[in-house]
Amino acid sequence: MSRALSFREAVLLVARREFIQRARDRSFFVSTAITIGIIVLVIVFPKALNFGADEYTVAYVGPDGPAIQAVAEDQAELSDLSLVAVDVADAEQAEQMVLAGDLNAYLDADSVVVERELAPPLRAVLENAHSSVAGTRALTDAGLDPEQVASALDTAELETVTLDPAADERITRGTIAFIGALVLYGQLLGYGFWVALGVVEEKSSRVVEVLLSAIPARALLAGKVLGIGVLGLAQLFAIAAVSVAAAALVGSIAFEASMLQPILLVLGWFVLGYIAYACLSAAAAARVSRQEELQNATTPLTMLAMVSFFASFFVFFNTSGTGPLVVSVIPPVSALAMPIRMARGDAALWDIGLALVLMLGLIAALIVVSGRVYEGAVLRMGAKVPLAEAWRSGRRVRS
């Protein structure tokens, strides 16, 4: 009818409960929705308001108007500037529109008319176009074949030789990883806190006593960390999918398979970072008996996460030198910092290896230490259990 659960079965059962109960929690949906909302806003908003892209409305009056317009628009495209041509009946109407603010400028014969001043990028484009048209006309007037003039001018183009063709992509990947690290910071804090909250909830409701009469403390701890971790990973996947889709949709980034790399890196490091933070959170939380004391008990963890947070800024803005290298190999800071360097391609193989070894070493140590502190403290109700006492009461293995 019933048989003893194996450690693995107990862990999975606890993990399943955590996953289902937390996923059903309203605050989970709210926090997911808010995070996705913020990211979509950050991606879509600038595009909608046309931040960054310079756009000018210009009217072309006079016989050379169409020719100048054609050259100006070609030039504008090269300068990453958008020109909108507006049709006007005559110079008078154009002037009215400039004064009303409907036009940035209009061109009439050899002059450009603006309300107050001509924006430098627009000046460059218009001057170029004007001089090119004027030059062509002068050459034609001098008796040259207009087509010869045009082809002669066309060949006088600079050819670009790119020495680092992937640089753009690397920077984009680094930026994605950086944004990922920022999200990760929130998630690490959030999920670490969930683990802590869950531990205290079980302790303050005393259900822990019933649970521990059935399964070992470590199975309970491992199940909790696993269940909340899987939920966190699922949430991050959802956030990443929505963000990439939104970015691709509005064209902030050209969606390419290579862009998945930084996202996967961030998710991979999230798993490692989460395990470390979750172990620390659980041990800290097991020492207190009431939710009111939790904030206090987890303060050192919050500080640690803040340090990681600033480290990721540091690494994002400093591409070379030993500073970023050191920061990105020290666990658990490496969980936020390393993905950025890896995505950018700054990290040498041995940096990555070292960071991984150190991180895994820390996790192994934390599992031992936190498991024991948790075990030693989780049944002790009342005042906060001193760390040394929790360590002494915890057993290495429950028989």
Partner 1 sequence: MLELDRLSKRYGDVVALDDLSLTVRPGQMYGFVGTNGAGKTTAMRIVLGVLDADAGEVRWQGQRLGPGVRREFGYMPEERGLYPKMRLLEQLVFLARLRGTAEPVATRSARALLDRFGLAERAGDRVEQLSLGNQQRVQLAAALVHDPTVLVLDEPFSGLDPVGVDSMATILRERVDTGAALVFSSHQLDLVERLCDAVGIIRAGRLVADGTVAELRGVTSSRRFRVQVGAAPGWPDQLAAAVRGATVLDHGRDDGPALFELPAGTDDQVLLAAAQRLGAVHQFGTAEPTLVELFREVVSEEPESDDAEAAA
List residues near partner 1 by CB under 8 A: 1-5, 10, 13-14, 17, 21, 201-202, 205-216, 379, 381, 395, 398-399
Core vs surface per residue 48-57: b (16+ CB within 10 A) or e: eeeeeeeebb
Task: Write down the least CB distance from residue 398 to partner 1, Å.
Answer: 8
Q: Quote the Cα angle for 8-12-14, to 5°.
A: 120
Query: What is the C-alpha to C-alpha distance for residues 297 and 274, in angstroms, rounded to an integer?
Result: 18
65 vs 198, beta carbon nearer partner 1: 198
216 vs 332, beta carbon nearer partner 1: 216
Task: Write down the least CB distance from residue 366 to partner 1, Å.
Answer: 24
For the record, the structure tokens of 361 come out as 């070493």
Task: Write down the least CB distance from residue 283 to partner 1, Å.
Answer: 19
18 vs 346, beta carbon nearer partner 1: 18
Task: Write down the least CB distance from residue 339 to partner 1, Å.
Answer: 35
13 vs 44, beta carbon nearer partner 1: 13
286 vs 359, beta carbon nearer partner 1: 286
Q: Which of 61, 123, 130, 66 is nearest to 95 (CA)?
A: 61
140 vs 291, beta carbon nearer partner 1: 291
205 vs 299, beta carbon nearer partner 1: 205
Query: Reading across the β-sheet that carries 111-113, which strands appear in turn?
Result: 81-85, 54-61, 105-108, 111-113
Query: What is the C-alpha to C-alpha distance for residues 27 and 198, in angstroms, rounded to an integer?
Result: 14
Task: Write down the least CB distance from residue 369 to partner 1, Å.
Answer: 20
Which H or E run includes 167? helix 167-204
Residues in the chain: 399
Q: Which of 23, 4, 7, 5 is nearest to 227 (CA)?
A: 23
CA-CA-CA-CA torsion sign (324, 329, 333, 334):
positive
Task: Write down the least CB distance from residue 166 to partner 1, Å.
Answer: 51
Q: Quote the Cα angle for 100-104-110, to 5°.
A: 115
For the record, the structure tokens of 88 come out as 């006007």
Residue whose entry in the numeric block shows the structure tokens 């009303």 = 100
Task: Write down the least CB distance from residue 211 to partner 1, Å.
Answer: 7
